[in-house]
């Protein structure tokens, strides 16, 4: 069942305080550049997202955001973009409407800024992304990127009313994907403190999911990690999913997990590698199951589905949490055969 979600703001690039040269290219041949910073006026205000405190931006008094780049469908009489079929068929800067699976995690903070608790505000469910990320002729994210946490996973930021939003967006062209992608948004403000994750694309018709044989899918994972002490980081990892179509099960495993707080360097976090088994019903294209982290401190679930005419790709969302502390890892992933 499709549900309505509140609007997510455009991913316009902001100034990265102390990291003005944060844009960069990976080894995938796609170069992502930061938007050049504009010197603030004497009356400009600087706002920062605490969860990722290295991301700060200057905003002029009275400055407003446009709303024509990236948002979730609100059902409020807005003209829809064309339905997404493949990334290769989209023209530069072309908007598209995506079918998505999304989830939302909210969090609370102490006066010191440390996160004290997290909760799954919206369980994984099917939704409609009425205008997904757009790319230039050079395969760069429209609005710019502050930096890249892994090959093909960019970080951007924007102002959302009185809040700051940090976005982790997988570049499908860099990943070699044609049917899906994912995004994770941390929104931080006086009235909004949440992390929304979405896997979106062109789902495989349930009748076209193979009923026999096996396949291995490889790809990337991105998300936000909250440590037991309440500190936030951007997480990335490699994933491998082994699908047994006859038994309708998938072995999910992530590896090479890394954390970053400055978009310039990252540290290994092998205790955050994830693993578990996902299953689905006959004549279905959506799967779900329980996953845990290698450190044994968190458990939770992942929901995803196959994408492409005959399940050439897959993607999903996940959240794992500690029962004893604020430790949480939430995000999304995508992979191809």
Residue 292 CB contacts under 8 Å (≥ 6 apart), including other chains: 274, 275, 276, 298, 299, 300, 320
- The predicted pLDDT at position 131 comes to 79
- The domain spans of the chain are 24-336
Residue 250 CB contacts under 8 Å (≥ 6 apart), including other chains: 241, 242, 243, 244, 277, 278, 279, 287, 289, 314
In whole angstroms, what is the distance from residue 24 CA to residue 109 CA?
Answer: 32
As given in the structure block, the two tokens for residue 100 are 């998505």
Class of domain 24-336: mainly beta
In whole angstroms, what is the distance from residue 130 CA to residue 143 CA?
Answer: 18
Give bridge partners of residue 224 from the DSSP assignment: 234, 330
pTM, full prediction? 0.83
How long, in residues, is the chain? 337
Tens of pLDDT along the chain (337 residues) come to: 333 332 222 222 222 222 333 333 333 333 333 333 345 555 555 555 556 655 555 555 555 444 333 444 333 334 457 899 999 999 999 999 999 999 999 999 998 889 999 999 989 999 999 878 999 999 999 988 888 899 899 999 887 778 888 899 999 999 999 999 999 999 888 877 999 999 999 999 999 999 999 999 999 999 999 999 999 999 999 999 999 999 999 999 999 999 998 888 899 999 999 999 999 999 999 999 999 999 999 999 999 999 999 999 999 999 999 999 999 999 999 999 9
- The predicted pLDDT at position 1 comes to 39
């Amino acid at each position: 069942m499709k549900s309505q979600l509140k609007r997510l703001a455009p991913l316009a690039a902001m100034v990265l305080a102390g990291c003005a040269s944060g844009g960069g290219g990976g080894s995938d041949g796609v170069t992502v550049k930061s938007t050049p910073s504009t010197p603030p006026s004497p009356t400009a205000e600087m706002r920062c997202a605490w969860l990722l405190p290295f991301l700060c931006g200057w905003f002029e008094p009275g400055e407003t955001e446009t709303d024509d780049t990236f948002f979730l469908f609100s059902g409020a009489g807005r003209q829809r973009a064309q339905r997404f079929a493949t990334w290769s068929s989209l023209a530069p800067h072309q908007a598209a409407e995506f079918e998505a699976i999304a989830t939302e995690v909210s969090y609370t903070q102490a006066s010191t800024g440390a996160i004290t608790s997290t909760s799954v505000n919206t369980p994984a469910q099917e939704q409609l992304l009425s205008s997904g990320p757009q790319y230039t002729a050079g395969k760069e994210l429209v609005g710019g990127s502050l930096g890249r946490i892994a090959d093909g996973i960019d970080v951007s930021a924007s102002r959302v009313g009185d809040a700051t939003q940090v976005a982790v967006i997988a570049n499908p062209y860099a990943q070699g994907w044609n049917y899906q992608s994912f995004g994770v948004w941390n929104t931080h403000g006086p009235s909004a403190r949440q992390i929304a994750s979405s896997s979106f694309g062109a789902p495989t018709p349930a009748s076209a999911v193979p009923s026999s044989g096996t396949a291995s899918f490889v790809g990337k994972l991105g998300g936000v990690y909250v440590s037991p002490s309440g500190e936030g980081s951007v997480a990335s990892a490699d994933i491998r999913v082994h699908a047994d179509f006859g038994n309708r099960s998938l072995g999910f495993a992530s590896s090479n997990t890394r954390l970053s707080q400055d978009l310039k360097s990252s540290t290994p976090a092998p205790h955050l590698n994830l693993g578990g088994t996902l299953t689905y019903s006959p004549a279905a294209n959506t799967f779900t199951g329980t996953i845990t982290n290698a450190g044994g401190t968190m458990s939770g679930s992942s929901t995803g589905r196959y994408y492409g005419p005959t399940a050439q790709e897959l993607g999903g969302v996940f959240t794992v949490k500690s029962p004893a502390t604020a430790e949480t890892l939430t995000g999304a992933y995508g992979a191809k055969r």
